[in-house]
A = this chain, B = another copy of it.
Amino acid sequence: MKKKGILMVVSGFSGAGKGTVMKELLKRYPDSYALSVSATTRSPRTGETDGVEYFFVTTEEFEQMIAKDRLVEYAKYVDNYYGTPRTYVEEQLEAGKDVILEIEIQGALKIKEKFPEALLLFISPPSAEELRKRLVNRGTETLDVIEARLKRAREESFGIENYDYFVVNDKLSDCVEEVHAIVSCEHRRVSRNIYLVNNIREELSGFSKGE
């Protein structure tokens, strides 16, 4: 029996660098992982490409997807829908790939409810001070936006207990390897190897019948 992939939910504060960590993970282990691309009704920003950052769809199209149960989870932020298309996720899992969903806590909890075997990772900078520094050093955000993000981070921090693993992103390369190690180890969980356990049990039963 072919091994099924793990459905991974990756969340983290804005500025924790989870996007960079996931990109590097895919680059280093292209055969192991697949990144799910979300669908959204918000407009593409400069530099964003349909099918890369998001699938950009109309509200009517999105509501059709909901009606036809074509999303594994979706949520509405402000006036826009965001959701995870089902087909890609299911195909990649069946093919044995570990599928990464980069989504926020609201979606993460819905995934855990629907797929109890999903693996929830929370990526955090080493400290809040470091998070603030990173946001400031980007130089692209106004102080107001930085304050809003830190406030948002505080709210999000109350959801961390719902995640399985807490991974600190101090050095990118170490963090990537740590995420990869966690997923590799998760493949050894008894609950993910029931067919192996059954195989050895059957084989042992054969011996006892005195062949």
Interface residues, chain A, with chain B CB atoms under 8 Å away = 122, 124, 127-129, 131-132, 147, 150-151, 153-154, 157-158, 160-161, 163-168, 178, 181-182, 184-186, 188-190, 193-194, 196-197, 199-201, 203-208
Looking across the interface, which residue of chain B has its beta carbon closest to that of A150? Answer: B207
User: Which listed residue (B147, B157, B197, B204) contacts A200, Cβ 8 A?
Assistant: B157
Residues of B within 8 A of A189 (CB): 164-166
A166 near B151 with CB under 8 A, answer: no
Measured CB to CB, the closest approach of chain B to A4, in angstroms, equals 15
Q: What's the Cα separation between A188 and B124 when bound, in Å?
A: 12
Measured CB to CB, the closest approach of chain B to A150, in angstroms, equals 5
The 9 A-B pairs at the shortest CB distance, nearest first, are namely A128-B203, A154-B204, A185-B185, A157-B201, A128-B204, A166-B193, A166-B190, A182-B185, A165-B188
Q: Assuming the A-B contacts A181-B184, A182-B188, are A157 and B204 also in contact, with contact meaning beta carbons closer than 8 angstroms in the complex?
A: yes
Looking across the interface, which residue of chain B has its beta carbon closest to that of A193? Answer: B166
Given pairs A127-B203, A128-B206, A154-B208, 15 additional interface contacts (CB within 8 A): A131-B204, A132-B207, A147-B207, A150-B208, A151-B207, A153-B204, A154-B201, A157-B204, A161-B190, A161-B197, A163-B190, A165-B189, A167-B188, A181-B184, A185-B185
Q: Assuming the A-B contacts A154-B204, A188-B182, A203-B129, are A166 and B122 also in contact, with contact meaning beta carbons closer than 8 angstroms in the complex?
A: no
Residues of B within 8 A of A185 (CB): 165, 178, 181-182, 185-186
Q: Is the interface of A mostly helix, strand, loop or mixed?
A: helix
A200 near B164 with CB under 8 A, answer: no
A208 near B165 with CB under 8 A, answer: no
Residues of B within 8 A of A151 (CB): 207-208
Measured CB to CB, the closest approach of chain B to A129, in angstroms, equals 7
Q: What's the Cα separation between A84 and B207 when bound, in Å?
A: 33
